[in-house]
Structure 1
Amino acid sequence: MFSPHGPTLRELAVQALSSVEHGYDLLAPTFDHTPFRTPDVILKAVEDTLAARGPFDHGLDLCCGTGAGMDVLRRVCRRSVTGVDFSAGMLAVGRDRVRADAAPRAAWVRGDARALPFGPVFDLVVSFGAFGHFLPGELPGLFAQVHAVLRPGGTLAFPVGAPPHPTSPKYWALLGFDTAMRVRNALWRPPFVMYYRTFRFGEVRRELARAGFTVEHEALPDFGRRPDGSPRCRLIVATREAEAGSGTASSG
């Protein structure tokens, strides 16, 4: 699962017994060599879909980590891209990885997704693999924050994989991981919130609608379909309603 440049089992154990923020500070130098980074094939599929919907002007990568999603934004946004994360270590790695003179220029901001330090200035917000760090009860506040930093007509987009079938090894691996995390958090402080099975498609759609978004979803064709015909991976596209008389999200 890990390349020779990734963390050791001992390092992972130390990180897992830390807070989420400190754990990612420790993991940052080797994060891009772990399976926790969003695979390039998903990033490319999202980029292609957003490119067909754009272009956009100002983009935000929510919980950006080392900036894999920032690369997507730089290809679909014309004017600026911003990454926000509460791990200073992850931001430092991302800042060092991305060339400062590449266009559009990137800004890296330390902040909490539950209290975003921005006004309504973005046309596009993306997020990759971060929602497992939020408990279901936090979703209304999180989506309200994203709604508040989008311009009228702006878009929130993120990929969601189909849940694995109960007969598949992946189903039991994710169930085992989530169970281990619940036991860890019951016995150890500070908690480390990371669950794979709490971010459910139907519930997410309902909470986005309650936050004031118009919600669509689009199959990402590169990943095919399950035997029942449903997509293996979808892109959720949630749009903040445009105000009467306002321009489009990319008119910036």
Structure 2
Amino acid sequence: MFSPHGPSLRELAVQALSSVERGYDLLAPKFDHTPFRTSDAVLDAVERALKTMGPFDRGLDLCCGTGAGTDVLRTVCRESVTGVDFSAGMLAVARREVPSGGWPRADWVRGDARALPFGPVFDLVVSFGAFGHFLPGELPGLFTQVHSVLRPGGRFVFPIGAPPRPASPWYWTLLGFDTAMRVRNALWRPPFVMYYRAFRLGDVRRELSRAGFTVEHQALPDFGRRPDGSPRCRLLVATRAGGGAPAEVSRPPAG
């Protein structure tokens, strides 16, 4: 699962016994050599979808990590892109890996997604692979924060994969991981919040709607469909009201 340039087992153990922020500070130099980085296949699929919705002026990469999603924003935003993350270590890698020159310009801000330090200045907010770090009870506040930094008509866009079936080895792998994290957090402080199975489509749609978004979704065709016809991966498109009708988005079969 890890390249030779990735973290050692000892380094992962030290990270897992740290806070989320400290853990990612420690992991940052080797993060892009782990399976935790969002895959290029997902990034490319989202980029293609965003190009059909844009262009946009100003984009925000929420919980940007080392900047992989910020690179996607630079292909669809004309004025500027901003990456925000609470890990100074991850931001340091992003500053080094993502060129700050050229156009659109890239800015990096250290901040908490639950208390964003911006006004309503963005046309597009994206996020990749970060939602497992938020407990279900934190979603209302998180989505309200995103709503507050979008201009009227702005979009909050992110991919969400279909949950694996109980017959799949991935189902038991993720269940085992989440169980281990819950045991760890019951026995050790500070907690390390990372639950792969806590971010569910129905809950997400409901909380986005409550935060004031119009929510639609489309299948990401690169990842195919499950035997019941439902997509293996969807793109959620949440639009802040006030900017006219959102772009038409297809609705896949339920599931």
* TM-score normalised according to structure 1 size: 0.96
Q: Conserved in 2, the CA contact under 8 Å of 1:164 and 1:170?
A: yes
| Rounded Cα–Cα distance in structure 2 between residues aligned with 1:193 and 1:248 | 34
Q: Conserved in 1, the CA contact under 8 Å of 2:239 and 2:246?
A: no
Please give the per-residue CA displacement for 1:51-72, whole angstroms capped at 9, x wherever unaligned.
0010000000000000000010
Where do 1:167-246 residues align within 5 Å? 167-242=167-242
Partner residue in 1 for 2:251: none
| Rounded Cα–Cα distance in structure 2 between residues aligned with 1:204 and 1:100 | 33
| Rounded Cα–Cα distance in structure 1 between residues aligned with 2:169 and 2:219 | 24
| Rounded Cα–Cα distance in structure 1 between residues aligned with 2:21 and 2:73 | 24
| Rounded Cα–Cα distance in structure 1 between residues aligned with 2:16 and 2:211 | 32
| Rounded Cα–Cα distance in structure 1 between residues aligned with 2:155 and 2:131 | 17
Partner residue in 2 for 1:122: 122
Deviates more, 1:92-101 or 1:136-145: 92-101
Please give the per-residue CA displacement for 1:124-153, whole angstroms capped at 9, x wherever unaligned.
000000000000000000000000000000
Aligned residue identity for 1:121: V
Q: Secondary structure of the equivalent of 2:151?
A: strand
| Rounded Cα–Cα distance in structure 2 between residues aligned with 1:94 and 1:102 | 16
Aligned residue identity for 2:179: T
| Rounded Cα–Cα distance in structure 1 between residues aligned with 2:151 and 2:174 | 36
Q: Which runs of 5+ in 2 are unaligned?
A: 248-255
Q: Which has the higher contact order (CA 8 A, sep 6+)?
A: 1
Deviation, 1:208, is 0.2
Partner residue in 2 for 1:28: 28
Aligned residue identity for 2:24: Y
Deviates more, 1:124-133 or 1:94-103: 94-103
| Rounded Cα–Cα distance in structure 2 between residues aligned with 1:195 and 1:166 | 17
Deviates more, 1:98-107 or 1:147-156: 98-107
Residue 62 (str. 1) matches residue 62 (str. 2): yes
Q: Conserved in 1, the CA contact under 8 Å of 2:100 and 2:107?
A: no
| Rounded Cα–Cα distance in structure 2 between residues aligned with 1:98 and 1:84 | 14
Partner residue in 2 for 1:113: 113
Q: Secondary structure of the equivalent of 1:79?
A: strand
CA separation of 1:137/1:27 partners in 2, compared to 1, >3 Å: closer, same or farther? Answer: same
Q: Conserved in 2, the CA contact under 8 Å of 1:21 and 1:87?
A: yes
| Rounded Cα–Cα distance in structure 2 between residues aligned with 1:240 and 1:101 | 30
| Rounded Cα–Cα distance in structure 1 between residues aligned with 2:107 and 2:98 | 11
Q: Secondary structure of the equivalent of 1:234?
A: strand
Identity between Structure 1 and Structure 2 (%):
81
Q: Secondary structure of the equivalent of 1:24?
A: helix
Q: Secondary structure of the equivalent of 2:75?
A: helix
Q: Which stretches of structure 1, 4 residues or longer, exceed 2 Å deviation after superposition?
A: 246-249
User: How many pairs were matched up?
Assistant: 247
Residue 131 (str. 1) matches residue 124 (str. 2): no
Aligned residue identity for 2:51: A
Q: Conserved in 2, the CA contact under 8 Å of 1:60 and 1:82?
A: yes
Partner residue in 1 for 2:85: 85
| Rounded Cα–Cα distance in structure 1 between residues aligned with 2:235 and 2:246 | 21
Please give the per-residue CA displacement for 1:139-192, whole angstroms capped at 9, x wherever unaligned.
000000000000000000000000000000000000000000000000000000
Q: Secondary structure of the equivalent of 2:60?
A: strand
Aligned residue identity for 1:141: G
| Rounded Cα–Cα distance in structure 2 between residues aligned with 1:215 and 1:104 | 28
Q: Which runs of 5+ in 1 are unaligned?
A: none
